Amino acid sequence: MRYTLALHGGAGTLLPEVITPAERKEFTQALDDALKTVLELLKKGSSAVETVVHTVAKLEDCPLFNAGRGSVFSHDGRHEMDAAVMNGADRKAGAVASVSGVKNPVILARTIMEHCPHVFLSGAGAEEFARLHEIDFESEKWFYTRHRYHQWQVAKADNALLLDHTPDDVKYGTVGAVALDVHGQLAAATSTGGLTNKKFGRIGDTPLIGCGTYADDLVAVSCTGWGEFFIRTVAAHQVAMRHRLGETLQSACHSVIDDIEVLGGDGGLIAVNVRGEISMPFNTPGMYRAAGGSHIESFVKIFNEKKP
């Protein structure tokens, strides 16, 4: 039986001529480590849900990416994180928004999916639910990175709202994963720290089922980029519906990203279908991404190197 894993660490990167060899190696190594570790689990029979949650949690623990430990600072100096998980087999989903201190928001999202009558929890209520279910928390020190702090200070001085994937940023990204397991089931998971210096409790597309994250019995999708545009286009669900109505996976995915670009947005997405085919389009200079499986030679890429 086929199995496939695709993951991303965010769309929008430094230009190829600007990123240093050391930076490139650091990011590609982090993605490669996650890919190799989880592919072994998938090969041995790990479910699609277990696979995507494990992958995203591993990326959340890496300070390179804007999720979990590497999350950006909001306007008031907090780390407000969002995440979602969806099981394609039964379309159950769990999502969380604006939580602080939760070590792995994606694990909380899965716990909501499996042990809560609701799909979407936020803020203090979500944190209370996390404590009731003994989800791990970490101190503010765990989430602090010098670069993110500096980025926040610059944004405050300029009264600016910075995307996590702007060209002047060295570290990027919403993280996500999609998987097809050996049982023929699909799942998707996405996690983010949002936008630097964000105000008013802003929530992007990541935890919104059908916008930044979606899975059914045909396809699983995880998005990254300027969230407002992925919300307005219901991007992840649009991919699934286009594919269900007869478009190839490649056509469906590229059409959605093209639509977002027409509206003025940027970003990318990763998708896998029940046949194990993958698509990873983006309209930014690059997207941190990796994939592998029973019929796909494993790869890790940043820029437009023969993209699928």
Q: Which residues contact 299 (CB under 8 A, 6 or more apart)?
A: 290, 291, 292
- For residue 46, the tally of other CB atoms under 10 A from its CB is 21
CA dihedral 91, 71, 17, 8 (to 10 degrees): -20
Strand ranges across the sheet with 175-180: 120-122, 92-99, 81-87, 186-192, 175-180, 4-11, 287-293, 299-301
**Residue whose entry in the numeric block shows the structure tokens 């494993």:** 298
Look up residue 71 and give its DSSP letter.
P
Could you count the other beta carbons within 10 Å of the beta carbon of residue 44? Answer: 9
Catalytic residue among 174, 206, 233, 284: 174
Q: Is 284 a catalytic residue?
A: no
Query: Which positions are catalytic?
Result: 174
